[in-house]
Amino acid sequence: MPSATSTPLLGSTPQATNMDARELSLIDSPKDVKGSKQDDSTPNMVAQENLNPKLSIAPLPGRLRMYVPPTNFGAVETNSIYRSGYPTSKNFDFIKSLSIRTILTLVPEPLSEEYITFMEQNHIRHYQIHIPANKDGKINITSETMATALAVVLNRNNHPLLIHCNRGKHRTGCVTACFRKTQHVQNDAAIAEYRDYSYPKCREDDMRFIRSFDSSIVLPIAQSQGWLPTPPPEPNDGFWHLKHHTKIPTYEDVAAIKSTDEHRDQVARISVK
């Protein structure tokens, strides 16, 4: 018999600590349990079950399901514009919970069938506008390409909207910073927000582009959608332009800002799902 002052087993309960050596041996040797004449075998059965935990867990009901946001997720405008890295299947429930109406993809690679199916099943409109990377000392984003992306972002009928690239850092950061400039946010503040999401891999070429971007190129769209001087206080219900008697700008309007064959081709490649 162990003494009353012996050290308890790790994780033991008072009942387990007070079990005599014979009871412990019954747990360690299951074949002895069968031949035991003890009537009180419940503690042994419980202990034996604890030594063999279940290897599977029943799925959670929908109301208890864990939502996983995409990498680098953040709200640009609450309940209206969001940003993130490339969504994967584990993020779909989270995106659905936001009632996203439109997704803007900034990288040119083809979408997976899984991603396309998710958007179709949830009636999500999709635009794919290639925003090239600024790196190696070269600025590759043109003002016209940025204006095309901003036309999607500024259109309130697209909200709630999710903007994403691969990591949600550089291309998404440039679009978000240029959107801020349409709100008359100063360069330093717009770049500070870019840094928040891209640190520690901030790109000087991105920041040079943000500083040089002239937001007046999308001024007519920003004005028609009520972004100046600040967004209107009422929530977007999909009929904002009707209530305010404004015309929704078309992508031809954006292309007309600087009518070039290259830019018109870019507009034509916008993918609407």
E strand spans, 174-246: none
Residue 166 Cα distances to 77, 99, 120, 175, angstroms: 21, 22, 21, 14
Provide the residue type at 235 as one letter: P
Q: What pairs with residue 8 in β-bridges?
A: none
For residue 252, give the nearest of 267, 233, 235 by alpha carbon.
267
201 Cβ partners below 8 Å, 6+ apart?
Answer: 169, 170
Structural tokens at position 147 = 């204006």
Q: Which one from 165, 174, 178, 202 is the annotated catalytic residue?
A: 165
Instruction: Look up 165 and say whether it is catalytic.
Output: yes
Contact 263, 255 (CB under 8 A): yes
Contact 190, 180 (CB under 8 A): yes
Report the catalytic residues: 165
